[in-house]
Structure 1
Amino acid sequence: MENQLVVDHFTNPRNIGDLPDAHGIGTYGAPDCGDYLVIYIKVNREKISDIKYKIYGCSTLIATTSMMTEMAKGKTIQEARLITGEDVVKALGGLPEDKTHCANLSITALHFTFQDFNKRKSLGWTRY
């Protein structure tokens, strides 16, 4: 059974939605057979000024992604890269052992978002 903070992030997910003109977009998972998420970021003055996501997955994936976005918002990309799945699990007050992988899925999608941001930046596509 999950704790009240996990339930709160599932029933009241933070930062859900999309971002028009996102500076970076990352996807991870397989929409046809299970968990799938898309993460969008906007960067202002080298910090993540906004972060949103769309998701198809279990309640724990929704909760871990919600918490991860709260942890990443306001950080530089370099700082947010240091967030681990374990950090997300701790911030949520723990998860059942068979659900801790959900935090890692969220972090992997976030890293793909950073890769996209860096690509757009290097190609001059992103103005922030």
Structure 2
Amino acid sequence: MYSEKVLEHFMNPRNVGEIENADGVAQVGNPKCGDVMKMYLKIENGVIVDVKFKTLGCGAAIATSSIATEMIKGKTIEEALKITNKAVTEALDGLPPNKLHCSVLAEEAIKAAIEDYLNKQKNK
């Protein structure tokens, strides 16, 4: 049902936690269905130098959060904004059809955290 990569990222998630005084923070998801993802970004000179997440949800939600953080760490804002839910799914060697919404959450979290960062920059 789940690929080895999904199981690996679920059992040993990367970049779990919070970033104090994060440059961008976003929470996405639907608490009613149980999947909620919060992402924290540290950005320097337009590059994501650190990223952490906290996810409440199923194994696929945790795995997509974990791989998404690995995919954007070290990337520019522009590069990170190009990451799609399809790319997240492919990086995990696929997801069951009923779990594809988890990859959408990961994409939404990346975009929302970057949007939060950009809004804070405008207000400076």
Distance 1:32 1:96, change over 3 A: closer
Matched, 1:107 2:98: no
1:1-128 map, 5 Å: 1-31=1-31, 33-124=33-124
Letter in 2 for 1:118: L
1: CA distance between counterparts of 2:94 and 2:22? 31
Q: CA deviation at 1:109?
A: 1.4
- CA distance in 1 between partners of 2:123 and 2:24 (Å): 13
Aligned residues: 124
Deviation at 1:2, TM superposition (A): 0.4
Q: TM-score, normalised by structure 2?
A: 0.95
1:55/1:78 CA distance change after superposition, 3 Å: same
Cα offset, 1:3, TM superposition: 1.2
- TM normalised by structure 1 equals 0.93
Q: Residues 64-118 of structure 1, C-alpha deviation per residue, up to 9 Å, x if partnerless? A: 1100110010001110000000001111111111111110111111111111101
2: CA distance, partners of 1:50 / 1:113:
12
When residues 33 and 101 of structure 1 are mapped into structure 2, their CA distance, relative to the original with a 3 A threshold, is: closer
RMSD: 1.0
SS at match of 1:28: strand
